[in-house]
Amino acid sequence: MAETATSWAPRSAWAGVVQAGQIGVAGAAGVTATLLDGFGLATLIAAPGGTLALSQLVESRIGITLPTTPKIVPGASHDAIWSGPDQWLLRASTREGFGSLLEALSAQAAVSDQSDARAAMRLTGPRVRDILAKGVMLDLHPSTFVVGDTALTSIAHIGVHLWRLADGPDGSVFEIMVARSMVGSFWSWFAASAAEFGCQVSIDRSTGRG
């Protein structure tokens, strides 16, 4: 019996689910959804009493501090995102060198590479809050959910990690991260919610951070 060679190639979490283009009503899009790809991502959990040592190590390696409240701290090439007491997501713009960084941080934390386990998208546009209001049970008004805030919440019964970045030309900028296994269900909700306002979908394969 002849053997069949099999080769495996990386596949985007959005592949087969989303395509670039306009969805919903035609005309000027009320929101732009940028699907993020190619980023490195890991969970960091500090050892008991080891938060300070871990934060100092992170700062010495990549120049950012770990937030102690529900915030995202952006850096030149990495972001630190609070995900619970003494727990964070560490996101890198690319995966180059990410493994060696995680190996170094494992001296002070439990580290788990999640680069292929999560999907992320960035949302901008004048109707972005109107869309999120259909599923997010949080007050996202600028006076309440300020730049840098992050939250672990749910959308359509799907667990998500949500944060707000610095405002762009079209106003508020949000990012949402969801488990890869839930991408199909999440996109079904999002596409239906965005159709009313029109949504321009693009895919950023060059970096996970824009």
Give me the residues of the chain with pLDDT under 50, please: 208-210
What was the pLDDT predicted at 126? 95
Contact assessment for residue 134 and residue 194, using Cβ atoms and an 8 Å cutoff = no
Query: For residues 141 and 134, what is the distance between their CA atoms, to the nearest angstrom?
Result: 14
Superfamily of domain 40-113 in the CATH hierarchy: Heterotetrameric sarcosine oxidase (3.30.70.1520)
Q: pLDDT per residue over 77-126, tens digit each?
A: 999 999 999 999 999 999 999 999 999 999 999 999 999 999 999 999 99
What was the pLDDT predicted at 3? 61
Query: For residues 149 and 153, what is the distance between their CA atoms, to the nearest angstrom?
Result: 13
Q: Which residues pair with 41 in a beta bridge?
A: 91
The continuous run of DSSP H or E covering 131 comes out as: helix 128-132
Burial class (CB in 10 A: 0-12, 13-18, 19+), 103: exposed
Residue linked to tokens 């949302």: 123
In 3D space, the residue among 166, 189, 167, 193 whose CA is nearest the CA of residue 178 turns out to be 189
The dihedral through the CA atoms of 59, 63, 65, 71 has a sign that is negative
Cα 43 to Cα 19, 76, 96, 151: the distances in Å are 29, 19, 17, 16
What was the pLDDT predicted at 12? 85
What is the token pair recorded at 51? 């938060």
How many percent of the chain have pLDDT more than 90? 82
Backbone angles phi, psi at 193, to 5 degrees: -75, -35
What is the token pair recorded at 3? 């053997």
Q: CATH top-level class for 21-37+117-204?
A: alpha beta
Cα 23 to Cα 18, 28, 176: the distances in Å are 10, 11, 19
- Reported residue count of the chain is 210
Query: For residues 106 and 44, what is the distance between their CA atoms, to the nearest angstrom?
Result: 8
Query: For residues 134 and 138, what is the distance between their CA atoms, to the nearest angstrom?
Result: 10
Per-domain residue ranges of the chain: 21-37+117-204, 40-113
Task: Tell me the whole-structure pTM to 2 decimals.
Answer: 0.90
